[in-house]
Amino acid sequence: MFKHVDYLQFQAKPEKPDALFAAKLQELVGGQFGEMTVMMQYLWQGWNCRVPGKYKDMIMDIATEEIGHVEMLTTLLARLLEGAPNETTEKAAAANPVLAAVLGGMNPQHAIVTGGGALPRDAAGVPWNTGYIVASGNMLTDFRSNAAAEAQSRLMTSRVYNMTDDRGVKDMLQFNLARDTYHQQQWLLGIEQLIEDGFTESGIEQSNGEDEKDFARRTFYSFDPESTAGEGRWARGQSLLGEDIEYVADAVPLTDDKPLGPAPDPKLFVSYAGDMGKGKPGTGGAAHAQGMANVVNKIKGALD
Amino acid sequence: MFKHVDYLQFQAKPEKPDALFAAKLQELVGGQFGEMTVMMQYLWQGWNCRVPGKYKDMIMDIATEEIGHVEMLTTLLARLLEGAPNETTEKAAAANPVLAAVLGGMNPQHAIVTGGGALPRDAAGVPWNTGYIVASGNMLTDFRSNAAAEAQSRLMTSRVYNMTDDRGVKDMLQFNLARDTYHQQQWLLGIEQLIEDGFTESGIEQSNGEDEKDFARRTFYSFDPESTAGEGRWARGQSLLGEDIEYVADAVPLTDDKPLGPAPDPKLFVSYAGDMGKGKPGTGGAAHAQGMANVVNKIKGALD
Amino acid sequence: MFKHVDYLQFQAKPEKPDALFAAKLQELVGGQFGEMTVMMQYLWQGWNCRVPGKYKDMIMDIATEEIGHVEMLTTLLARLLEGAPNETTEKAAAANPVLAAVLGGMNPQHAIVTGGGALPRDAAGVPWNTGYIVASGNMLTDFRSNAAAEAQSRLMTSRVYNMTDDRGVKDMLQFNLARDTYHQQQWLLGIEQLIEDGFTESGIEQSNGEDEKDFARRTFYSFDPESTAGEGRWARGQSLLGEDIEYVADAVPLTDDKPLGPAPDPKLFVSYAGDMGKGKPGTGGAAHAQGMANVVNKIKGALD
Amino acid sequence: MFKHVDYLQFQAKPEKPDALFAAKLQELVGGQFGEMTVMMQYLWQGWNCRVPGKYKDMIMDIATEEIGHVEMLTTLLARLLEGAPNETTEKAAAANPVLAAVLGGMNPQHAIVTGGGALPRDAAGVPWNTGYIVASGNMLTDFRSNAAAEAQSRLMTSRVYNMTDDRGVKDMLQFNLARDTYHQQQWLLGIEQLIEDGFTESGIEQSNGEDEKDFARRTFYSFDPESTAGEGRWARGQSLLGEDIEYVADAVPLTDDKPLGPAPDPKLFVSYAGDMGKGKPGTGGAAHAQGMANVVNKIKGALD
Amino acid sequence: MFKHVDYLQFQAKPEKPDALFAAKLQELVGGQFGEMTVMMQYLWQGWNCRVPGKYKDMIMDIATEEIGHVEMLTTLLARLLEGAPNETTEKAAAANPVLAAVLGGMNPQHAIVTGGGALPRDAAGVPWNTGYIVASGNMLTDFRSNAAAEAQSRLMTSRVYNMTDDRGVKDMLQFNLARDTYHQQQWLLGIEQLIEDGFTESGIEQSNGEDEKDFARRTFYSFDPESTAGEGRWARGQSLLGEDIEYVADAVPLTDDKPLGPAPDPKLFVSYAGDMGKGKPGTGGAAHAQGMANVVNKIKGALD
Amino acid sequence: MFKHVDYLQFQAKPEKPDALFAAKLQELVGGQFGEMTVMMQYLWQGWNCRVPGKYKDMIMDIATEEIGHVEMLTTLLARLLEGAPNETTEKAAAANPVLAAVLGGMNPQHAIVTGGGALPRDAAGVPWNTGYIVASGNMLTDFRSNAAAEAQSRLMTSRVYNMTDDRGVKDMLQFNLARDTYHQQQWLLGIEQLIEDGFTESGIEQSNGEDEKDFARRTFYSFDPESTAGEGRWARGQSLLGEDIEYVADAVPLTDDKPLGPAPDPKLFVSYAGDMGKGKPGTGGAAHAQGMANVVNKIKGALD
């Protein structure tokens, strides 16, 4: 359950309105790596976390903080949009000709849709969606995603930070930049803790690792004869798992298998020259039918 | 420019068709962390890379490999869909009653849309989109995203791997699992190389770091009075930047600023009680007007 | 700013797992009218509200409650997914043949993507997006949307409620149904309060009402000669604004204007037979040019 | 079946082209509450309506009218785009410098994609999708959605109306504003009719109402200690169902149930410390297995 | 303006309900090439058509017919969904065990969202969107798209047709198949008419054709050393424009230009080693500045 | 498997940066008919092709070429974005006043998201998705789609080509225009080859053609009494299948069947007046039950 406190975590006081900058700032709210993304990603990871105690509490703490960050940004946006030029273009240009210059860059939905408030969209006006977030239940993979999200989020914030001289806006973004610096580390330290607590041995996701083809776990394949990729750390020395990395320049196929599907079901009218025999509709072929017969027998046994 | 070799990188030979498993396997093709995602993410990062030589070559090498991984999976899918039950439900059930059990779980678009081939969609049938990928131009943040993508991709592959007993399918997925193990490390080793080459000092994205609020860079805020998050590594000891981490239990607002927008433009018909004065349409308020006047003067100067 | 309390608002205790029902229940989480929609719609309306005091506080209160409702549903879903059949289809069918019957209806992403947790998606597996929500800044129109959202949400909940016999699931949904009943009224009572406080006269959105064509404000047009729509209350008696409603059977166009665009810009290669004169690229025609000339003059004046 | 009449319902004659305004006008065509939304929503509700006679006829009448409203807007848009500045930026600026001011705000897809015609997209250029519409089969909930859609649509129209001085554009929008005023009432009067005809008792969606938790049907919970929401009509007096509303300041959880999922299936590699016992793959736990055993027995009985 | 006639164009009378088939049939309503796509594509092309008379009338005629086709399919779907199994899974299985087999394949949104009616979505449950349609204003390119849409639509219809034995369903689909056969030809004959009327010379889109590199207009490049593509008609003989086609086996780059961006703006924190000189923020480099200076001079001239 | 060659297929050397033009050029990368669409469409068609030899090789050849075309465009875009004005608006305007004119039209994500590189989005900033592509397995229908895609792509390219004077940009686009001219023909010649090789008789998709209603295969229906569509080639003379086309002016319904669904399941709370009898939940009505009983008997037989 959640509670609300009617104050911002940190103040959001621009010196003056700036509708053009507001359009750009939307990226930090509803972009792929905006605050809505981390808010929702952490909420879902927290709800999906099966390890109660410090891990689940930590995820819920940061998730709860992030709801407040969206709140800060929506407040900042509404203030940046104060008195934004929404009237007739010609009139606006006449009264204050330089306004004409910024009319193009404004986001018209800031007037038409929200009446001067923030939008749950990115800087291009694209709605936010949950395709941006992940909550896999596996803390190692999710902490990797979170560290990446904070790094990307901080980079976008930093770029936007350089696009304004407004001291009030910069003041708030200086807080956000610092939180992103801390949160990046929080997730990387979280991986250290996972290792310490035995949830992962190496920090590398390696479930079913005993089954993987080991030659392919330590090999860099290059696909361009002139590639210089072999000069990098990733292609030389020991891997993080302690194996020697192999560099294969100008890789070749490891098989003579060609990318060709089987004979198609004739009822589906797929173009076919008959060279792979007759396609059979809905039978799955001999092997499939046999597999199914096995199941029939097992069901019969279970029903007896 | 690219070239094509008409062999698969690794063979894709299922023992027998399995349309139900094929529906699940789609997640590894067109899911948020499927092969299309890494293929497109690396292509775009490679094209967007401004550091020629080993870095750009490495990214293009792996991008090129990943196109071939989508090729492997589409081939595997077509073969798993051989003779999938696409006819009348009742007839199928009569001829082979157990088929009825799997009819529900099949993806009907595998028959209707592709005629027995793979779909560029995920296991729920949702089309793939570029909202899944990032190419920021900054290798540190992108390598973090890539390491996360490989870890998530490997986890999903590993879960799907456990959903089949087909030795041919497992054989190919054992190759894919290994590549994901290697590629995770490749990007983490890439960050080591970035540090060695001076592209980042600490592996933490910290552009404009000199401007961020330093108290907020080293503080864990908790928002639940009963939270035990303070017990974790992320809330104790030194940060990765060498500062002492502060733990704030039961955080309070750092300001008395409330989340309230300014007086709205009356032409936008936003609900308003008049308590913040009169909203002015299209003027941006006094400060804004002044800012604009300054620009007018500068333009006049420049034109003279 | 927000706080978290580590207890659910209401208990979420299914009697037993049911992966097939879990797939349906997703509609109440991430559907067009699921809990994520009302959670996000109310948060954005609250942040965008310019009337502090009881209105803004009320919207934030319900928004905060709704975050907790998503939390309840995600917990219920994880419990319904306990031990869901994620292994090989054939094996599962052998061990427990009736399981085969439900294998089709399960959502494979519940295993592959979340590892047995809820998804931020609807019952068809489609990701949630902010195209589902509205925060216009105008409380009358938003309260209408909210009353509709609660009614639709309650209907969907009620349909899903009838799809299970699990007393634990029904217990929680009985709480949700009641909240939806209350919340529907809350927004309708909110409109009463808006009228009482003078934010709207009639509860009908009628900004710029003095400009609208009054004949069209009170007329029902029918477009089917056999339509019986004239028998309804909407076509007879007084409108809610106190005017007599007019019923026009078999409506005719009110103009001889035809739906035809002007002569196209030849640089755009639009099919055109020349019958409307010569299309001019980038000039906007005489009227446009004149309008622009006026602006030029005004700018010159302003710069002098 | 439908017929077409080659005249507009109402004329669409702008005085002069205005490409910048055209970009904004797109919101009224392809926005969340644009004419495409009501056209499609009413068509689908009409086709899905099970009550022949005045209800179904009424819905089909307005649906048919709305197709014509999209036609009016697309015609208006093509005329506003006449001679829009599509050439080289530099050239345009040289020939008519003020054009430079509006070049930014134009929607380039108006030239590149449609060759000077309307787009089925909103003012941000986002494609329209059916996630915007609802046709639930229940007229009460749908009429609530329709009244809301007309109110939102009218508000957006009214905001856009204030962004132009073109008398021809304003003339057509005055017609649209009036239709939205009428249509809002049409759906509210429709609810009156539903009550009169016995399709709903109170206008509140309350299916399965006998099962809902009645304490939760009449209670306002506040989640902010300083909230003043208790002063509103929604928290005082009688509900629309005739019950006394209860106001709970500073709500507390109604349970000691915590948001924690069960022991995860080990085959899914979800992070887990083992504190809830051993997760079992694919069995659904004891209760689930028992439920399934019951079904097996019933099937055996039915097959005998 | 449009009118409605309350009869279907062709009857939609299934012999009996079939919820599983209904789920598949959705592809023909809301799929990429379903009836909604052709309905909306033709409506938008008709509204966007600048050639009045037989062309515009023809497009509007077929567009109007297609609205009626969506109506036919939605009616068919509602009838196929009559009494679909929406109750508790276990109960349904007990009462009629074979129902269990189809429970998985049903679309739960057919019950939860529409209450037994059609959905504006495809067979995977994905909402329809306007990214599926095109209305370019150019009849040649649009007629090509329309002929393709009808061919794809017919193929999908034909595949679905083979998935049922219901004579009533087949009866209606036999009408739809025939209309798709006719409509394919209608658009191809339309291209013949465009040639006859001089709107295109060859049926090949070749605007600005005088500027294109002519060597690249008649050359097939192969990118696989073992490719046999040279054996096809597309690589031999005369092109449709009367030129000799050239076949280039194993193509090589036509330039030594490498895919590398310029020195990045340092304010954007793009990874960069400095090897291309100093990136300059916001100036566009020397060439850009010069170009802009030219514009300044022209504006000054125009304002004088 | 694929290989990479680190040179562009054709040079991409703009004379000078132009951020405004870059925003438009995005349509040719990530638009509905941009290079990503043809790249992905051909890759998927090639992987899905069941006819090895010249057909499959041809499709893979062009698919491989198109990857390189995206590479060319991303390189061109990065160079056009060199030094794009990303700083504070006011500062930029002061330093170079004419820059103010283009600030609006720039795509801010070119700075914030990619740091001066191309975006996988269209000119409106909308992400690319696989809903734009088709790979049906049927070469006739796919070649029709490909010919259309090339025609539309060429038209968009040609429109964008006219929006710049930059000789370097025009040089590269002249190559692209020519490839689109060739590729249009390639697919049309491919249909000739399909006819020659017997994959289609007439070039008209007509699977299950023996079942279609033949009267509907040769009839043009008009739905507007004033339509002149009967004057076109599509309504007169012989069809491409050699039948006489019939023109029906002012079409009437071919049935007295009305668009009305059956009695709804009462558990779904669909509005219903009881006039079609009692809706039965989960039974599917008599016919459905009978059909199911038949399946039960067949399963029993199969299990014995």
Span D63-86, average pLDDT:
92
pLDDT at B170: 97
Span D254-283, average pLDDT:
88
d(CA A121, CA A28): 9
> What ipTM, to 2 d.p.?
0.91
- What are phi and psi for residue D244, nearest 5 degrees? -80, 130
Q: Which of E37, E45, E47, E133 to substitute to test the interface with D, most D CBs within 10 Å?
A: E47
List, for chain B, all residue ranges whose pLDDT scores fall below the cut of 50.
90, 92-98, 100-101, 283-304
Asked if F66 and F38 touch (Cβ cutoff 8 Å), the reply is yes
Half-sphere exposure for C92 (CA within 13 Å, toward CB)? 26
Half-sphere exposure for D60 (CA within 13 Å, toward CB)? 34
pLDDT at E19: 87
Q: Which of D162, D177, D227 to substitute to test the interface with B, most B CBs within 10 Å?
A: D162
d(CA C198, CA E28): 50
Alpha helices in chain D (DSSP H): 19-30, 35-47, 54-80, 89-95, 99-103, 109-112, 139-161, 167-196, 285-303
pLDDT averaged over chain F? Answer: 89
Residue A57's CB is within 10 A of a number of other CB atoms, namely 24
Tokens of B51: 């550091």
Chain B adjacent subunits, 3+ CB pairs under 8 A: A, C, D, E, F
CA dihedral F153, F154, F159, F162 (to 10 degrees): 140
- Residue F2, SS3 per DSSP: strand
Q: Name the residue among F47, F108, F137 with its Cβ closest to that of A264.
A: F137
| F53/chain A closest Cα distance in angstroms | 11
Q: Nearest chain B Cα to A190, which residue?
A: B234
- Residue A219, SS3 per DSSP: strand
C47 has a pLDDT exceeding 70: yes
A290 has a pLDDT exceeding 60: no
Nearest to F144 by CA among F90, F77, F195, F68: F195
**Residues in chain E within 8 Å Cβ distance of F300:** none
pLDDT at D299: 40
CB contact under 8 A, D155 and B269: yes
pLDDT at D296: 40
In eight-state DSSP terms, residue D214 is G
List, for chain E, all residue ranges whose pLDDT scores fall below the cut of 70.
85-105, 282-304
Tokens of F3: 């290989």
Residues ≥6 apart with Cβ < 8 Å to D304: none
pLDDT averaged over chain A? Answer: 89
pLDDT at D291: 43
For the stretch D189-224, pLDDT in tens is 999 999 999 999 999 999 999 999 999 999 999 999
What proportion of chain F, given as a percentage, has pLDDT over 70? 85
d(CA A91, CA A95): 6
**Residues in chain E within 8 Å Cβ distance of B50:** 260-264, 270-272, 276
What proportion of chain A, given as a percentage, has pLDDT over 70? 86
Helix axes B139-161, B167-196, angle to 10 degrees: 160
**Residues in chain F within 8 Å Cβ distance of D128:** none
pLDDT at C106: 79
For the stretch B114-164, pLDDT in tens is 999 999 999 999 999 999 999 999 999 999 999 999 999 999 999 999 999
Q: Which residues pair with E129 in a beta bridge?
A: D129
pLDDT at E94: 43
pLDDT at A285: 33
d(CA B128, CA E86): 31
Residue C289's CB is within 10 A of a number of other CB atoms, namely 17
Residue B22's CB is within 10 A of a number of other CB atoms, namely 27
Residues ≥6 apart with Cβ < 8 Å to A11: A171, A172, B254, B255, B257
For the stretch F182-237, pLDDT in tens is 999 999 999 999 999 999 999 999 999 999 999 999 999 999 999 999 999 999 99
Q: Nearest chain F Cα to A105, which residue?
A: F104
C88 has a pLDDT exceeding 70: no
Q: Which of A119, A121, A221, A271 to substitute to test the interface with F, most F CBs within 10 Å?
A: A271
Counting other chains too, the contacts that A300-303 makes at CB distance below 8 Å and 24 or more residues apart are A300/F303, A302/C94, A302/C96, A302/C97, A302/D296, A303/C97, A303/D296, A303/D299, A303/D300, A303/D303, A303/F303
Residues ≥6 apart with Cβ < 8 Å to B293: none
CB contact under 8 A, B136 and A152: yes
**Residues in chain F within 8 Å Cβ distance of D51:** 271-273
Chain centroid to CA E238: 30
Confidence band (pLDDT; 50, 70, 90) for A83?
Answer: confident
Q: What is the 3-state secondary structure (H, E, C) of chain E?
A: CEEECCCCCCCCCCCCCCHHHHHHHHHHHHCCCCHHHHHHHHHHHHHHCCCCCHHHHHHHHHHHHHHHHHHHHHHHHHHHCCCCCCCCHHHHHHHCHHHHHHHCCCCCHHHHCCCCCCCCECCCCCECEHHHCCCCCCHHHHHHHHHHHHHHHHHHHHHHHCCCCCHHHHHHHHHHHHHHHHHHHHHHHHHHHHHHCCCCCCCCCCCCHHHCCHHHHCEEECCCCCCCHHHCHHHCCECCCCCECEEECCCCCCCCCCCCCCCCCHHHCCCCCCCCCCCCCCCCHHHHHHHHHHHHHHHHHHHC
Q: Nearest chain B Cα to D271, which residue?
A: B155
Nearest to C104 by CA among E24, E61, A7, B102: B102
> At residue D48, what is the residue type?
N
pLDDT at D95: 47
pLDDT at C85: 63
Q: Nearest chain E Cα to A159, which residue?
A: E268
Asked if F129 and E129 touch (Cβ cutoff 8 Å), the reply is no
Residues ≥6 apart with Cβ < 8 Å to D193: C232, C233, C234, D55
> At residue F21, what is the residue type?
F
Span A171-196, average pLDDT:
98
Alpha helices in chain B (DSSP H): 19-30, 35-47, 54-80, 89-95, 97-103, 109-112, 139-161, 167-196, 285-303
Asked if A26 and A107 touch (Cβ cutoff 8 Å), the reply is yes
**Residues in chain C within 8 Å Cβ distance of B264:** 50, 137
Q: Which of A24, A265, A269 to substitute to test the interface with E, most E CBs within 10 Å?
A: A269
**Residues in chain E within 8 Å Cβ distance of C101:** 93, 100-101, 103-104
Q: Nearest chain C Cα to A72, which residue?
A: C1
pLDDT at E205: 98
pLDDT at D83: 82
Asked if B244 and A95 touch (Cβ cutoff 8 Å), the reply is no
For the stretch A217-246, pLDDT in tens is 999 999 999 999 999 999 999 999 999 999
Exposed, middle or buried, C4 (CB in 10 Å: 0-12/13-18/19+)? buried
Residue F261's CB is within 10 A of a number of other CB atoms, namely 27
pLDDT at F204: 98
Alpha helices in chain A (DSSP H): 19-30, 35-47, 54-80, 89-95, 99-103, 109-112, 139-161, 167-196, 285-303
Residue F211's CB is within 10 A of a number of other CB atoms, namely 16
F286 has a pLDDT exceeding 60: no
d(CA E258, CA C10): 62
- Residue D16, SS3 per DSSP: coil
